[in-house]
Structure 1
Amino acid sequence: MIRDLAGHYERLAGRYDDTWGHRPDYVAWMNQLVFDRLRIGPGDRVADIGAGTGLFLRSLVRQVNEDNPIVCVDPSQAMLDRLPDDPRLVPVCASAEEMASGAVELPYRKLDAIVIKETVHHFTDLAKTLAGLAGMLDTGGRMLVVTLPPRLEYPLFTAALDRFAEHQPEPADIVSAMRDAGLDTVLDYDAFTVRVDSEHYADLVARRWMSVLSTFDDEQLAAGLAEMRSRNQPGELVFADRFAFVLGLKT
Protein backbone atom coordinates (compact mmCIF):
# COMPACT_ATOMS: atom_id res chain seq x y z
CA MET A 1 0.00 0.00 0.00
CA ILE A 2 2.85 2.42 0.82
CA ARG A 3 5.35 2.87 -1.97
CA ASP A 4 8.10 4.18 0.29
CA LEU A 5 7.58 2.41 3.61
CA ALA A 6 11.20 2.89 4.69
CA GLY A 7 10.99 6.58 3.92
CA HIS A 8 7.77 6.92 5.89
CA TYR A 9 9.33 5.50 9.05
CA GLU A 10 12.57 7.39 8.55
CA ARG A 11 10.57 10.63 8.52
CA LEU A 12 8.51 9.48 11.50
CA ALA A 13 11.36 8.16 13.65
CA GLY A 14 12.52 11.45 15.17
CA ARG A 15 9.09 12.26 16.60
CA TYR A 16 7.60 8.77 16.98
CA ASP A 17 7.69 8.64 20.78
CA ASP A 18 6.41 12.23 20.96
CA THR A 19 3.38 11.08 18.98
CA TRP A 20 2.31 9.12 22.04
CA GLY A 21 3.33 11.80 24.55
CA HIS A 22 -0.29 12.84 25.06
CA ARG A 23 -1.28 9.23 25.78
CA PRO A 24 1.11 7.81 28.42
CA ASP A 25 -1.85 5.95 29.93
CA TYR A 26 -2.40 4.21 26.60
CA VAL A 27 1.26 3.19 26.37
CA ALA A 28 1.10 1.70 29.88
CA TRP A 29 -2.23 0.00 29.09
CA MET A 30 -0.92 -1.63 25.92
CA ASN A 31 2.35 -2.68 27.55
CA GLN A 32 0.40 -4.44 30.30
CA LEU A 33 -1.94 -6.25 27.90
CA VAL A 34 1.00 -7.56 25.88
CA PHE A 35 2.75 -8.71 29.05
CA ASP A 36 -0.36 -10.42 30.42
CA ARG A 37 -0.89 -12.44 27.26
CA LEU A 38 2.69 -13.46 26.55
CA ARG A 39 3.49 -14.39 30.17
CA ILE A 40 7.19 -13.64 29.81
CA GLY A 41 9.35 -15.20 32.49
CA PRO A 42 13.05 -15.21 33.39
CA GLY A 43 15.11 -16.89 30.70
CA ASP A 44 12.51 -16.55 27.94
CA ARG A 45 13.88 -15.80 24.48
CA VAL A 46 11.79 -12.99 23.01
CA ALA A 47 11.58 -11.26 19.63
CA ASP A 48 9.54 -8.17 18.78
CA ILE A 49 8.72 -7.91 15.07
CA GLY A 50 8.32 -4.26 14.14
CA ALA A 51 9.86 -3.13 17.42
CA GLY A 52 10.45 0.42 16.22
CA THR A 53 11.78 2.59 19.04
CA GLY A 54 10.96 0.01 21.73
CA LEU A 55 8.14 2.11 23.19
CA PHE A 56 5.91 -0.93 23.67
CA LEU A 57 8.59 -3.18 25.17
CA ARG A 58 8.73 -1.60 28.61
CA SER A 59 6.74 -4.31 30.38
CA LEU A 60 8.72 -7.10 28.71
CA VAL A 61 12.23 -5.73 29.15
CA ARG A 62 11.87 -5.88 32.94
CA GLN A 63 11.63 -9.67 32.67
CA VAL A 64 14.88 -10.25 30.77
CA ASN A 65 18.58 -9.63 31.37
CA GLU A 66 21.75 -9.23 29.35
CA ASP A 67 22.04 -13.00 28.97
CA ASN A 68 18.67 -13.29 27.19
CA PRO A 69 18.01 -9.90 25.56
CA ILE A 70 14.91 -9.10 23.50
CA VAL A 71 15.57 -9.24 19.75
CA CYS A 72 14.16 -6.01 18.29
CA VAL A 73 13.45 -6.58 14.59
CA ASP A 74 12.51 -3.68 12.34
CA PRO A 75 13.23 -2.84 8.68
CA SER A 76 13.82 0.83 9.59
CA GLN A 77 17.30 1.55 10.90
CA ALA A 78 16.14 5.08 11.75
CA MET A 79 13.57 3.64 14.17
CA LEU A 80 16.03 1.17 15.69
CA ASP A 81 18.51 3.99 16.23
CA ARG A 82 15.97 5.38 18.72
CA LEU A 83 15.99 2.26 20.89
CA PRO A 84 17.15 2.87 24.48
CA ASP A 85 20.84 2.18 25.05
CA ASP A 86 20.10 -0.99 26.98
CA PRO A 87 22.02 -4.29 26.77
CA ARG A 88 18.71 -6.10 27.23
CA LEU A 89 17.69 -4.96 23.72
CA VAL A 90 19.41 -6.25 20.57
CA PRO A 91 18.51 -4.41 17.34
CA VAL A 92 18.21 -6.38 14.11
CA CYS A 93 17.51 -4.39 10.95
CA ALA A 94 15.38 -6.74 8.87
CA SER A 95 11.85 -7.24 7.62
CA ALA A 96 9.45 -9.81 9.04
CA GLU A 97 9.70 -11.71 5.76
CA GLU A 98 13.49 -11.88 6.02
CA MET A 99 13.31 -13.14 9.57
CA ALA A 100 10.60 -15.69 8.75
CA SER A 101 12.67 -17.08 5.87
CA GLY A 102 15.64 -17.78 8.16
CA ALA A 103 17.83 -15.28 6.32
CA VAL A 104 18.55 -13.27 9.47
CA GLU A 105 21.16 -14.26 12.03
CA LEU A 106 19.69 -14.19 15.55
CA PRO A 107 21.21 -14.78 18.98
CA TYR A 108 18.76 -17.69 19.50
CA ARG A 109 18.07 -20.85 17.54
CA LYS A 110 14.52 -21.00 18.92
CA LEU A 111 12.22 -18.44 20.56
CA ASP A 112 9.81 -18.64 23.48
CA ALA A 113 7.78 -15.59 22.54
CA ILE A 114 7.17 -13.39 19.51
CA VAL A 115 5.17 -10.17 19.61
CA ILE A 116 3.92 -8.48 16.43
CA LYS A 117 2.19 -5.19 17.22
CA GLU A 118 0.47 -3.31 14.40
CA THR A 119 2.79 -4.70 11.76
CA VAL A 120 0.94 -7.52 9.98
CA HIS A 121 -0.68 -5.10 7.52
CA HIS A 122 2.81 -4.55 6.07
CA PHE A 123 3.42 -8.28 5.46
CA THR A 124 3.65 -9.04 1.75
CA ASP A 125 2.43 -12.62 2.31
CA LEU A 126 0.52 -12.95 5.58
CA ALA A 127 0.19 -16.75 5.73
CA LYS A 128 3.74 -17.50 4.61
CA THR A 129 5.32 -14.99 6.98
CA LEU A 130 3.30 -16.09 10.01
CA ALA A 131 4.11 -19.73 9.22
CA GLY A 132 7.81 -18.96 9.05
CA LEU A 133 7.73 -17.10 12.35
CA ALA A 134 5.68 -19.86 14.00
CA GLY A 135 8.36 -22.33 12.92
CA MET A 136 10.89 -20.39 14.99
CA LEU A 137 8.98 -21.05 18.23
CA ASP A 138 10.13 -23.69 20.66
CA THR A 139 7.60 -26.07 22.19
CA GLY A 140 5.38 -24.03 24.51
CA GLY A 141 6.28 -20.86 22.62
CA ARG A 142 3.73 -18.06 22.16
CA MET A 143 3.13 -15.69 19.30
CA LEU A 144 0.99 -12.60 19.87
CA VAL A 145 -0.33 -10.47 17.04
CA VAL A 146 -1.83 -7.12 18.07
CA THR A 147 -3.71 -5.47 15.24
CA LEU A 148 -6.44 -2.99 14.45
CA PRO A 149 -9.64 -4.24 12.85
CA PRO A 150 -10.23 -3.00 9.30
CA ARG A 151 -13.02 -0.63 10.32
CA LEU A 152 -11.75 2.04 12.69
CA GLU A 153 -13.73 4.31 14.98
CA TYR A 154 -11.17 7.11 14.56
CA PRO A 155 -12.30 10.68 13.72
CA LEU A 156 -10.33 10.56 10.46
CA PHE A 157 -11.50 11.71 7.04
CA THR A 158 -13.57 9.20 5.08
CA ALA A 159 -11.05 8.39 2.35
CA ALA A 160 -8.41 7.47 4.94
CA LEU A 161 -10.81 5.21 6.83
CA ASP A 162 -11.85 3.49 3.60
CA ARG A 163 -8.28 3.03 2.37
CA PHE A 164 -7.19 1.63 5.73
CA ALA A 165 -10.07 -0.87 5.70
CA GLU A 166 -9.22 -1.94 2.15
CA HIS A 167 -5.69 -3.04 3.04
CA GLN A 168 -6.01 -4.14 6.69
CA PRO A 169 -6.23 -7.93 7.21
CA GLU A 170 -9.22 -9.31 9.07
CA PRO A 171 -8.37 -10.73 12.52
CA ALA A 172 -10.17 -13.94 11.50
CA ASP A 173 -7.72 -14.36 8.59
CA ILE A 174 -4.80 -13.98 11.01
CA VAL A 175 -6.35 -16.65 13.24
CA SER A 176 -6.70 -19.01 10.27
CA ALA A 177 -3.10 -18.44 9.15
CA MET A 178 -1.73 -19.10 12.63
CA ARG A 179 -3.80 -22.25 13.01
CA ASP A 180 -2.62 -23.46 9.62
CA ALA A 181 0.92 -22.87 10.93
CA GLY A 182 0.23 -25.36 13.73
CA LEU A 183 -0.54 -22.97 16.59
CA ASP A 184 -3.44 -23.31 19.02
CA THR A 185 -4.93 -19.86 18.53
CA VAL A 186 -7.44 -17.66 20.32
CA LEU A 187 -8.79 -14.21 19.43
CA ASP A 188 -10.05 -11.55 21.79
CA TYR A 189 -10.49 -7.78 21.80
CA ASP A 190 -9.74 -4.88 24.10
CA ALA A 191 -10.51 -1.19 23.67
CA PHE A 192 -8.97 1.99 25.05
CA THR A 193 -10.98 5.19 25.35
CA VAL A 194 -9.01 8.00 23.70
CA ARG A 195 -9.46 11.58 24.82
CA VAL A 196 -7.49 14.05 22.73
CA ASP A 197 -7.74 17.70 21.73
CA SER A 198 -9.11 18.02 18.20
CA GLU A 199 -6.33 20.34 17.05
CA HIS A 200 -3.65 18.03 18.43
CA TYR A 201 -5.28 15.16 16.57
CA ALA A 202 -5.38 17.20 13.38
CA ASP A 203 -1.66 17.91 13.83
CA LEU A 204 -0.96 14.16 14.11
CA VAL A 205 -2.85 13.58 10.88
CA ALA A 206 -0.99 16.44 9.18
CA ARG A 207 2.29 14.77 10.17
CA ARG A 208 1.01 11.49 8.67
CA TRP A 209 1.31 9.63 11.95
CA MET A 210 -0.49 6.57 10.55
CA SER A 211 1.19 4.83 7.65
CA VAL A 212 -2.01 4.95 5.56
CA LEU A 213 -1.81 8.76 5.62
CA SER A 214 1.43 8.56 3.64
CA THR A 215 -0.58 7.30 0.68
CA PHE A 216 -2.25 10.72 0.31
CA ASP A 217 -0.50 13.64 -1.38
CA ASP A 218 -0.42 17.10 0.20
CA GLU A 219 -3.55 18.31 -1.60
CA GLN A 220 -5.54 15.20 -0.68
CA LEU A 221 -4.39 15.41 2.92
CA ALA A 222 -5.36 19.09 3.14
CA ALA A 223 -8.84 18.22 1.84
CA GLY A 224 -9.10 15.43 4.40
CA LEU A 225 -8.12 17.77 7.23
CA ALA A 226 -10.74 20.25 6.07
CA GLU A 227 -13.34 17.47 6.14
CA MET A 228 -12.30 16.52 9.67
CA ARG A 229 -12.53 20.11 10.92
CA SER A 230 -16.00 20.48 9.43
CA ARG A 231 -17.19 17.28 11.08
CA ASN A 232 -15.36 17.22 14.43
CA GLN A 233 -16.32 19.71 17.12
CA PRO A 234 -13.53 21.91 18.54
CA GLY A 235 -12.20 20.77 21.90
CA GLU A 236 -11.89 17.22 23.15
CA LEU A 237 -12.45 14.24 20.89
CA VAL A 238 -13.49 10.96 22.54
CA PHE A 239 -13.41 7.67 20.66
CA ALA A 240 -12.61 3.98 21.10
CA ASP A 241 -9.27 2.54 20.00
CA ARG A 242 -10.16 -1.13 19.58
CA PHE A 243 -7.55 -3.84 19.10
CA ALA A 244 -7.63 -7.50 18.20
CA PHE A 245 -5.25 -9.75 20.14
CA VAL A 246 -4.46 -13.04 18.39
CA LEU A 247 -2.47 -15.40 20.61
CA GLY A 248 -1.00 -18.63 19.30
CA LEU A 249 0.59 -21.42 21.35
CA LYS A 250 2.96 -24.04 19.96
CA THR A 251 2.08 -27.29 21.72
Structure 2
Amino acid sequence: MEGRDVRGHYEGLAAEYDEHWVYGPDYIPWMSSRITEALRLGPMDRIADIGSGTGLFAREVAKQLQPRHPILCVDPSAAMLGQLGTPPPSDLTPVVASAEDIAEGRTRLPYEQLDAMWLKESVHHVADQASTLRGLAERLAPGGRLLVVMLPATIQYPLFEAALARFEELQPDPAVIEGHLRAAGLKAGLAHAEHELRIDRDKYLGMVRARYMSLLSTFSDSEIEKGIEEMRIAHPEPVLVFPDRFAFVLGQRGGGSK
Protein backbone atom coordinates (compact mmCIF):
# COMPACT_ATOMS: atom_id res chain seq x y z
CA MET A 1 0.00 0.00 0.00
CA GLU A 2 2.90 2.29 0.77
CA GLY A 3 6.56 2.08 1.65
CA ARG A 4 6.33 2.12 5.43
CA ASP A 5 7.43 -0.52 7.96
CA VAL A 6 4.28 -2.64 7.87
CA ARG A 7 5.98 -5.62 9.51
CA GLY A 8 7.23 -3.41 12.34
CA HIS A 9 3.73 -2.01 12.79
CA TYR A 10 2.27 -5.48 13.34
CA GLU A 11 5.17 -6.70 15.45
CA GLY A 12 4.45 -3.86 17.87
CA LEU A 13 0.69 -4.44 17.84
CA ALA A 14 0.77 -8.25 18.13
CA ALA A 15 0.09 -8.61 21.86
CA GLU A 16 -3.05 -6.46 21.75
CA TYR A 17 -4.14 -7.09 18.15
CA ASP A 18 -7.08 -9.36 18.95
CA GLU A 19 -8.45 -6.87 21.47
CA HIS A 20 -8.58 -4.20 18.77
CA TRP A 21 -10.08 -6.38 16.08
CA VAL A 22 -12.87 -8.06 18.04
CA TYR A 23 -15.43 -5.28 17.58
CA GLY A 24 -18.16 -7.37 19.20
CA PRO A 25 -19.04 -11.02 19.86
CA ASP A 26 -20.60 -11.62 16.45
CA TYR A 27 -18.05 -10.01 14.11
CA ILE A 28 -15.46 -12.80 13.87
CA PRO A 29 -18.06 -15.59 13.44
CA TRP A 30 -19.88 -13.50 10.82
CA MET A 31 -16.77 -12.83 8.73
CA SER A 32 -15.49 -16.38 9.11
CA SER A 33 -18.83 -17.75 7.91
CA ARG A 34 -18.75 -15.44 4.88
CA ILE A 35 -15.22 -16.67 4.04
CA THR A 36 -16.27 -20.31 4.44
CA GLU A 37 -19.33 -19.82 2.24
CA ALA A 38 -17.55 -17.81 -0.46
CA LEU A 39 -14.77 -20.41 -0.77
CA ARG A 40 -17.22 -23.33 -0.43
CA LEU A 41 -14.86 -24.91 2.05
CA GLY A 42 -15.07 -28.59 2.92
CA PRO A 43 -13.38 -30.57 5.72
CA MET A 44 -10.98 -32.27 3.29
CA ASP A 45 -9.71 -29.03 1.72
CA ARG A 46 -6.09 -27.98 2.10
CA ILE A 47 -6.46 -24.36 3.17
CA ALA A 48 -4.20 -21.35 3.77
CA ASP A 49 -4.96 -17.98 5.36
CA ILE A 50 -2.43 -15.66 3.69
CA GLY A 51 -1.68 -12.71 5.97
CA SER A 52 -3.41 -14.43 8.86
CA GLY A 53 -2.01 -12.26 11.62
CA THR A 54 -2.97 -13.82 14.95
CA GLY A 55 -5.25 -16.33 13.25
CA LEU A 56 -8.50 -14.70 14.34
CA PHE A 57 -10.41 -15.85 11.27
CA ALA A 58 -8.53 -19.11 10.66
CA ARG A 59 -9.28 -20.17 14.24
CA GLU A 60 -13.00 -19.53 13.79
CA VAL A 61 -13.10 -21.18 10.34
CA ALA A 62 -11.42 -24.25 11.84
CA LYS A 63 -13.98 -24.28 14.65
CA GLN A 64 -16.85 -24.16 12.15
CA LEU A 65 -15.31 -26.52 9.58
CA GLN A 66 -13.42 -29.12 11.64
CA PRO A 67 -10.81 -29.56 8.85
CA ARG A 68 -8.99 -32.87 8.36
CA HIS A 69 -5.83 -30.97 7.37
CA PRO A 70 -4.58 -28.08 9.56
CA ILE A 71 -5.26 -24.62 8.15
CA LEU A 72 -1.99 -22.87 7.30
CA CYS A 73 -1.68 -19.49 9.01
CA VAL A 74 0.80 -17.62 6.82
CA ASP A 75 2.16 -14.29 8.03
CA PRO A 76 5.55 -12.52 7.90
CA SER A 77 5.27 -11.51 11.57
CA ALA A 78 6.46 -14.19 13.99
CA ALA A 79 5.10 -12.08 16.85
CA MET A 80 1.59 -12.15 15.35
CA LEU A 81 1.75 -15.90 14.72
CA GLY A 82 3.01 -16.36 18.27
CA GLN A 83 -0.45 -15.35 19.46
CA LEU A 84 -1.76 -18.69 18.15
CA GLY A 85 -0.31 -20.26 21.29
CA THR A 86 2.58 -22.52 22.24
CA PRO A 87 2.01 -25.03 20.90
CA PRO A 88 -0.58 -23.77 18.39
CA PRO A 89 -3.92 -25.58 18.11
CA SER A 90 -3.70 -28.87 16.23
CA ASP A 91 -5.97 -27.58 13.47
CA LEU A 92 -3.74 -24.56 12.73
CA THR A 93 -0.15 -24.56 11.43
CA PRO A 94 1.84 -21.31 11.56
CA VAL A 95 4.07 -20.44 8.60
CA VAL A 96 6.32 -17.38 8.90
CA ALA A 97 6.27 -16.01 5.35
CA SER A 98 4.84 -13.20 3.26
CA ALA A 99 2.41 -13.56 0.39
CA GLU A 100 5.35 -12.86 -1.93
CA ASP A 101 7.38 -15.65 -0.31
CA ILE A 102 4.62 -18.14 -1.10
CA ALA A 103 3.92 -16.77 -4.57
CA GLU A 104 7.57 -16.84 -5.59
CA GLY A 105 8.31 -20.22 -4.04
CA ARG A 106 10.81 -18.92 -1.48
CA THR A 107 8.87 -20.67 1.29
CA ARG A 108 7.66 -24.23 0.83
CA LEU A 109 4.30 -25.10 2.31
CA PRO A 110 3.37 -28.41 3.97
CA TYR A 111 0.92 -29.05 1.12
CA GLU A 112 2.09 -29.39 -2.48
CA GLN A 113 -1.09 -27.69 -3.68
CA LEU A 114 -3.90 -25.81 -1.99
CA ASP A 115 -7.63 -26.25 -2.50
CA ALA A 116 -8.47 -22.86 -1.03
CA MET A 117 -6.76 -19.76 0.27
CA TRP A 118 -7.88 -16.34 1.38
CA LEU A 119 -6.31 -12.94 1.92
CA LYS A 120 -8.33 -10.93 4.44
CA GLU A 121 -7.48 -7.21 4.28
CA SER A 122 -3.86 -7.90 3.42
CA VAL A 123 -3.66 -7.50 -0.36
CA HIS A 124 -2.99 -3.76 0.02
CA HIS A 125 0.33 -4.62 1.68
CA VAL A 126 1.50 -6.42 -1.46
CA ALA A 127 3.75 -4.26 -3.66
CA ASP A 128 3.20 -6.09 -6.96
CA GLN A 129 -0.34 -7.36 -6.63
CA ALA A 130 -0.66 -8.74 -10.16
CA SER A 131 2.51 -10.82 -9.92
CA THR A 132 1.85 -12.04 -6.38
CA LEU A 133 -1.73 -13.06 -7.08
CA ARG A 134 -0.56 -14.88 -10.19
CA GLY A 135 2.02 -16.77 -8.14
CA LEU A 136 -0.55 -17.66 -5.49
CA ALA A 137 -2.96 -18.86 -8.19
CA GLU A 138 -0.27 -21.21 -9.42
CA ARG A 139 -0.26 -22.89 -5.99
CA LEU A 140 -3.90 -23.91 -6.40
CA ALA A 141 -4.95 -27.46 -7.18
CA PRO A 142 -7.38 -28.00 -10.08
CA GLY A 143 -10.66 -26.43 -8.98
CA GLY A 144 -8.87 -24.49 -6.24
CA ARG A 145 -10.26 -21.15 -5.05
CA LEU A 146 -8.52 -17.92 -4.09
CA LEU A 147 -10.50 -15.27 -2.18
CA VAL A 148 -9.44 -11.69 -1.60
CA VAL A 149 -11.49 -9.97 1.11
CA MET A 150 -10.84 -6.25 1.13
CA LEU A 151 -12.40 -2.91 1.94
CA PRO A 152 -13.92 -1.03 -1.00
CA ALA A 153 -12.32 2.07 -2.46
CA THR A 154 -14.24 4.28 0.00
CA ILE A 155 -15.36 3.55 3.57
CA GLN A 156 -17.84 5.04 6.02
CA TYR A 157 -15.74 4.64 9.16
CA PRO A 158 -16.00 7.47 11.73
CA LEU A 159 -12.32 8.34 11.26
CA PHE A 160 -10.86 11.82 10.97
CA GLU A 161 -10.92 13.39 7.51
CA ALA A 162 -7.20 13.12 6.78
CA ALA A 163 -7.30 9.36 7.47
CA LEU A 164 -10.30 8.85 5.19
CA ALA A 165 -8.64 10.86 2.43
CA ARG A 166 -5.41 8.88 2.72
CA PHE A 167 -7.35 5.63 2.67
CA GLU A 168 -8.99 6.58 -0.63
CA GLU A 169 -5.63 7.60 -2.04
CA LEU A 170 -3.98 4.29 -1.20
CA GLN A 171 -6.66 1.61 -1.25
CA PRO A 172 -6.63 -0.70 -4.31
CA ASP A 173 -9.81 -0.93 -6.37
CA PRO A 174 -11.49 -4.36 -5.96
CA ALA A 175 -12.29 -4.35 -9.69
CA VAL A 176 -8.56 -4.13 -10.42
CA ILE A 177 -7.92 -7.09 -8.12
CA GLU A 178 -10.63 -9.02 -9.96
CA GLY A 179 -8.79 -8.24 -13.20
CA HIS A 180 -5.53 -9.55 -11.73
CA LEU A 181 -7.20 -12.86 -10.88
CA ARG A 182 -8.56 -13.17 -14.40
CA ALA A 183 -5.12 -12.37 -15.82
CA ALA A 184 -3.77 -15.16 -13.60
CA GLY A 185 -6.02 -17.61 -15.44
CA LEU A 186 -8.78 -17.86 -12.85
CA LYS A 187 -12.51 -17.51 -13.36
CA ALA A 188 -13.19 -14.45 -11.22
CA GLY A 189 -16.13 -12.56 -9.78
CA LEU A 190 -16.79 -9.71 -7.37
CA ALA A 191 -19.44 -9.56 -4.63
CA HIS A 192 -20.02 -7.47 -1.51
CA ALA A 193 -21.12 -8.12 2.05
CA GLU A 194 -21.95 -5.66 4.81
CA HIS A 195 -21.98 -5.94 8.59
CA GLU A 196 -23.20 -3.26 10.98
CA LEU A 197 -20.72 -2.34 13.68
CA ARG A 198 -21.77 -0.93 17.04
CA ILE A 199 -18.85 0.03 19.21
CA ASP A 200 -18.32 2.17 22.28
CA ARG A 201 -16.91 5.51 21.15
CA ASP A 202 -14.14 5.61 23.76
CA LYS A 203 -13.06 2.10 22.84
CA TYR A 204 -12.90 3.06 19.18
CA LEU A 205 -10.89 6.19 19.95
CA GLY A 206 -8.47 3.97 21.87
CA MET A 207 -8.20 1.66 18.86
CA VAL A 208 -7.36 4.64 16.65
CA ARG A 209 -4.74 5.82 19.16
CA ALA A 210 -3.24 2.29 19.07
CA ARG A 211 -3.27 2.48 15.25
CA TYR A 212 -5.38 -0.65 14.85
CA MET A 213 -5.46 -0.06 11.09
CA SER A 214 -2.06 -0.09 9.41
CA LEU A 215 -3.15 3.06 7.56
CA LEU A 216 -2.96 4.93 10.87
CA SER A 217 0.72 4.12 11.23
CA THR A 218 1.36 6.72 8.52
CA PHE A 219 0.34 9.49 10.96
CA SER A 220 2.51 10.98 13.72
CA ASP A 221 1.43 10.93 17.38
CA SER A 222 0.40 14.58 17.21
CA GLU A 223 -1.58 14.00 14.01
CA ILE A 224 -3.37 11.05 15.65
CA GLU A 225 -4.26 13.12 18.71
CA LYS A 226 -5.52 15.96 16.51
CA GLY A 227 -7.57 13.45 14.55
CA ILE A 228 -9.04 11.95 17.71
CA GLU A 229 -10.13 15.39 18.88
CA GLU A 230 -11.78 15.94 15.49
CA MET A 231 -13.60 12.61 15.92
CA ARG A 232 -14.78 13.55 19.42
CA ILE A 233 -16.41 16.71 18.08
CA ALA A 234 -17.92 15.01 15.03
CA HIS A 235 -19.23 12.03 17.03
CA PRO A 236 -20.50 13.00 20.49
CA GLU A 237 -22.70 9.89 20.65
CA PRO A 238 -21.51 7.24 23.19
CA VAL A 239 -21.92 4.34 20.75
CA LEU A 240 -20.70 4.54 17.15
CA VAL A 241 -22.82 2.73 14.57
CA PHE A 242 -21.44 2.37 11.07
CA PRO A 243 -21.38 -0.13 8.18
CA ASP A 244 -18.38 -2.34 7.57
CA ARG A 245 -18.64 -3.16 3.86
CA PHE A 246 -16.32 -5.63 2.18
CA ALA A 247 -15.54 -6.66 -1.37
CA PHE A 248 -15.19 -10.41 -1.87
CA VAL A 249 -13.10 -11.08 -4.97
CA LEU A 250 -13.14 -14.79 -5.77
CA GLY A 251 -11.07 -16.63 -8.35
CA GLN A 252 -11.28 -20.30 -9.24
CA ARG A 253 -8.87 -22.45 -11.17
CA GLY A 254 -10.34 -24.71 -13.84
CA GLY A 255 -10.33 -28.48 -13.81
CA GLY A 256 -12.10 -29.22 -10.52
CA SER A 257 -15.56 -30.28 -9.41
CA LYS A 258 -16.39 -27.32 -7.11
User: Aligning the two structures, in what range does the TM-score lie when normalised by the shorter sequence?
Assistant: over 0.9
The reply on whether 1:185 has 2:199 as its aligned counterpart is no
Asked if the contact 2:205–2:228 (Cα under 8 Å) also holds between the matched residues in 1, the reply is yes
Distance 2:54 2:121 in 1: 14
The residue aligned with 1:19 is 20
The alpha-carbon deviation at position 64 of structure 1 amounts to 4.8
The residue aligned with 1:90 is 93
The residue aligned with 1:150 is 153
The amino acid across from 2:158 in the alignment is P
Q: 1:161 aligns with which of 160, 164, 181?
A: 164
Asked if the contact 1:52–1:83 (Cα under 8 Å) also holds between the matched residues in 2, the reply is no
**3-state secondary structure, aligned to 2:155:** coil
**3-state secondary structure, aligned to 2:109:** coil
The residue aligned with 2:73 is 72
The amino acid across from 1:176 in the alignment is G
Asked if the contact 1:46–1:111 (Cα under 8 Å) also holds between the matched residues in 2, the reply is yes
Distance 1:235 1:103 in 2: 48
The residue aligned with 1:31 is 32
The alpha-carbon deviation at position 22 of structure 1 amounts to 4.0
The amino acid across from 1:126 in the alignment is Q
Query: Which deviations, in whole Å up to 9, do the C-alpha atoms of 1:149-196 show, x marking residues without a partner?
Result: 121100000111111111110000000000000111111101111111
The residue aligned with 2:248 is 245
Asked if the contact 1:2–1:212 (Cα under 8 Å) also holds between the matched residues in 2, the reply is no
Asked if the contact 2:54–2:84 (Cα under 8 Å) also holds between the matched residues in 1, the reply is yes
The alpha-carbon deviation at position 198 of structure 1 amounts to 1.4
Distance 1:90 1:237 in 2: 36
Asked if the contact 1:2–1:214 (Cα under 8 Å) also holds between the matched residues in 2, the reply is no
Q: Percent identity?
A: 50
**3-state secondary structure, aligned to 1:42:** coil
Where structure 2 has 5 or more consecutive residues not aligned to the other structure, the ranges are: none
Asked if the contact 1:193–1:240 (Cα under 8 Å) also holds between the matched residues in 2, the reply is yes
The residue aligned with 1:109 is 112
Distance 1:40 1:60 in 2: 9
The residue aligned with 2:57 is 56
Distance 1:22 1:169 in 2: 24
- Runs (4+) of structure 1 exceeding 2 A deviation are 62-65
The residue aligned with 1:212 is 215
Q: 1:133 aligns with which of 127, 133, 136?
A: 136
The residue aligned with 1:224 is 227
**3-state secondary structure, aligned to 2:59:** helix
The amino acid across from 1:168 in the alignment is Q
| TM-score between both structures, scaled by the size of structure 2 | 0.93
Identify the range of structure 1 (80-89 vs 105-114) with the bigger mean alpha-carbon deviation.
80-89
Distance 1:182 1:22 in 2: 36
Query: Which deviations, in whole Å up to 9, do the C-alpha atoms of 1:95-152 show, x marking residues without a partner?
Result: 1111100110111111100111000000010100000000110111001110001211
* Count, aligned residues: 250
Distance 1:21 1:143 in 2: 25
The residue aligned with 1:81 is 82
Query: Which deviations, in whole Å up to 9, do the C-alpha atoms of 1:15-38 show, x marking residues without a partner?
Result: 111113441211111011001111
Asked if the contact 1:2–1:211 (Cα under 8 Å) also holds between the matched residues in 2, the reply is no
The reply on whether 1:3 has 2:4 as its aligned counterpart is yes
Pairwise CA RMSD: 1.3
